[in-house]
Structure 1
Amino acid sequence: MRFTTIFRKAPIQIGHLQSSVKLLHSLPRPRPRNHTNRFFRKPKLVKTQTPEAKVYTRDTVSNIYNILKYSTWESARAQLPNLGIKWDSHIINRVLKSHPPMQKAWLFFNWASDIKGFKHDHFTYTTMLDIFGEAGRIQSMYSVFRLMKEKGVVIDTVTYTSLIHWVSSSGDVDEAVRLWKEMRGSGCEPTVVSYTAYMKMLFDGGRVDEATEVYKEMLRSRVSPNCHTYTVLMEFLVGTGKCGEALDIFFKMQEIGVQPDKAACNILIGKACKFGETSFMARVLVYMKENGIVLRYPVFLEALETLKAAGQCVDLLREVNLHITAESLCSNDTVEAEVDDMESSDDSRIISSVLLLKQSLVAVDHLLNQMKDRNVKLDSSVVSAIVERNCDRCRTEGASLALDYSSEMGIHLEKSAYLALVGYFLRENELGKVIEAVKEMVKAHHSLGVYQGATLIHRLGFGRRPRLAAEVFDLLPDDQKGVAAYTALMDVYISAGSPEKAMKIFEEMREREIVPSLGTYNVLLSGLEKTRDFQREAASLKKEKRSLVANGRFRGNVDVEEKVCDLLFARDL
């Protein structure tokens, strides 16, 4: 029954007009009205409730950490059950990752095992394993690993990678290799992190051939190297005196959209200092200057000493690291004054100050929006720096805002900025924005290049977006639609289950008199052999492939296009 029905007034019925005086006096009388306050309404008293203070996870974790660190275990064990916390894997793992004292972390781990309704999972086990490994307690780490197996906890690639890292750090490379083989045997597929960590271990252990094979296996498995992977390769090459090859990787990784970050530049400069490679340092410093990357203070001092000892000029080093010599001048008051005085200041100078000196990217977003409204056009170099810095900080909104601003204002960015956008959007799986960046790049008359174009098409196909891959192929100029680009598009259609489209592209390639490479045959045969409709074509392609291999043409004088194609798709090399 509704409240309106419950509280509806029932009509008063008087049965007889001639009722007793008592009955008349019992009827309700109207209250006398106060005409002076007829429009006055007495305010209702509202009960105010004080909202409960919200408890954040970080505060809970900090409280538990302080209890573990500053109390005895007997006192901590008495306090923990009275905290009123719902103990789950996330809370336990966060507490362990806060690095309480190792002994108390282990006692807390075992105490949590006895909580009713709670069971440790592979996250908490792996974190506890990391705590022992970091402390050099390898036997204790193995005890946790054996406990995982006994409890039937799922052991994944992350757990094995952690084991391999700490075992190799202890100097037992052979045991780390055994763990790698055990991981592969258990069906755990390596990630880019595990591949990179294992390669670094092998390089540091002097097992160069094994590390090279692991890198080739990584590429065959279609696991894309990241910045840290390339840094490991370059660090090894610089250490062996092959700075030319390291520079090739340094520039090629930028071409495919992987920009060296601050950590990579610091590692490379530090490595070059140890071997006195001043020319290599200069090339890296030029890149750092163009991208607003600075050195850590210890690395700066080491580089300064190396250049002075070699009799080299240190001006470039100081230009890259202005924050070290002029850090006291770059106060918050200076930047805030420049922003407040925006109407009378140069916009490019303000943007550069906020971006490069204080890293205030949120403020840069506001300024860009204002300039868009005011139809103010910034310099290309400034917008390019904004794009690259947002990509470095993984700020999708900031990078997209800068790209939209440049597009609306007709600003052509530098090639490195477009490549940074393409690489970042690929990593974030924002494939639609990848196409926007490529279109703007073509408008700016920048070329993707043979390797970048083929790799981008291949990556979009790997993300199950054949339409976008075909769109990138169409954006390429005719002189870059070679065997690598065609083969990449064929691989896209083969992966999408459309061998007929792949054969159509193959015929188009032959009409343009483009000679297939070994990678082309591998891609087509991998798809055609699985279907009954193209058995005759598959047999013919097999003969052509055998003839190509027999002639040894794929190992001899091969142009850049075919080398790129074979690097991406030839699994028999």
Structure 2
Amino acid sequence: MTDNGVGPDLVTHNIILSAYKSGAQYLKALSYFELMKGTNIRPDTTTFNIVIHCLVKLGQYGEAVDIFNSMREKKSECHPDIVTFTSIIHLYSLCGQIENCKAVFNTMLAEGLKPNIVSYNALIGAYASLGMSEKALLVFNEIKQNGFRPDVISYTSLLNAYGRSQKPEKAREIFDLMKRNNWKPNLVSYNALIDAYGSNGFLAEAIEVLREMEQNGVEPNIVSICTLLAACGRCGKKVKIDSILSAAELRGIKLNTIAYNSAIGSYMNVGEYEKALMLYRSMRKKKVKPDSVTYNVLISGFCKMSKYSEALEFFDEMMELKIPLSKEVYSSVISAYSKQGQLTEAESMFTTMKTSGCCPDVITYTTMIHAYNAVENWNKAFALFQEMEMKNVQPDSIACSALMRAFNKGDQPAKVLTLAKFMRDKMIPFSDSIFFEMVSACSILQDWRTAIDLIKMMEPSFSVISVGLLNQLLHFIGKTGKTETMMKLFYKIVATGAEINFSTYSILLKNLLAAGNWRKYVEVLQWMEDAGIQPSIRMYRNIFSYAQISSGTEYAAIIQERIESLKRKSENQVSTSKLYDSPLPTLY
């Protein structure tokens, strides 16, 4: 064309740009657009729509929004149309800025543009990405109210919204509704339904959908396999992982990096570390390139099974392959060094992370606080916590618990209670471990008043608090000599239906005996028997010894009669002579 002295016009330029776009050659499209700007041909709305599409595909969202805003200026020669607005809705959806999606949609309406089915689908898809099923349903209904007919994409997006909002049954209803309305589900629809079941722990139903799609002539793809593999890990189904991998092989579906990551992660989740390792070796043998997710799964998995040397070997491989380190990998490696007592290496890795431009998150900071906790250096742990605040990294209950533990180990219990006040001010929720450290601090400080306030705070949660923490509370109160208060707390714990074990009764008995309350001691022994928890021999021997030494002949006879009566009711009766002849048990 140019050889004949005829330059390309706008239509030609747009055809070329569209060809690059259709061929997913987004960088070439942008380069061509730059060349086009050097000509006398001015771009139109179609041109800008193609460029915005390419920028979104390349993740250059800021540049795409700039073009959109420039098109909306009054002096602009070409203004945004339905396609432009729809692309921007999709852009904000990818960024997770759902409120902006709705704002752009409303702006489109305000400027007199009538949404089409693609615009509506983009908005439903935005809500679906965050599991906002109620809002997705409102838009879905709006499609019908405005005279449009929802298509396969509309139904699939709504189905996906229900899946991500943990409503797989509703997802199935939408899937069936789509078929009743004479729309044929496509591969994406089936994969969305598989994910709706699989991500919510319904593995059998997810596998049944896979069979259903094949029966209906829709061939599963790698996304189907990845979804099922991830579901296996969540459900803890060892055998199913093998079956799904075999199914993929039989169907000629070659595993990609994501699929391998899902399978390796699932094996790790169910404790099949050897199989995970074998699959990783197969991955390398088949020249499928691992990524940071692969190594994070392996490194964190081997750390969980205390195989820190192996975890660090994977880190070395990752460095050799020059794979960029993610925050998760940094945290896992720091943890591995810390667990092996290599604090210097852990500190070096933490410093490298910051200098490389990878900002530590709360998990990484918590990992380092645990590292300092292990070497009982509360000063450095506290300095790191303060650095979190300076860097605007919001601490969570796990980070606070780790620092509290460091304070208690460093004989700084007052700082534990100060940190608890900070948590209340920042509205950071209190966990079992937080309460545990606070009770420990009160015990060290002998701060009875704070402990009582703490117990009142915990009372509504007794039914879900761990038995270890409840036992610690009883022990703390009991050792102060306040046995009546201890027993009142025990009654409240029982009333909530919280778990009570052998140690709970042991704490009560020990403190009752120390206070000389033998009547309540015998009563607690009876409660143990009634609860189906067999008292230890030592528990009986303790009260016999007390009766002989402290209670005089009259009370000793009464106590012995009570114990004998109690033992006759026990299913596992132990004779008095055996009690005296037995060696001292280690229990209690």
Normalised-by-shorter TM-score class:
0.3 to 0.5
Choose between structure 1 and 2 for higher RCO, CA contacts under 8 A separated by at least 6 residues: 1
Q: What is the TM-score with the length of structure 1 in the denominator?
A: 0.43
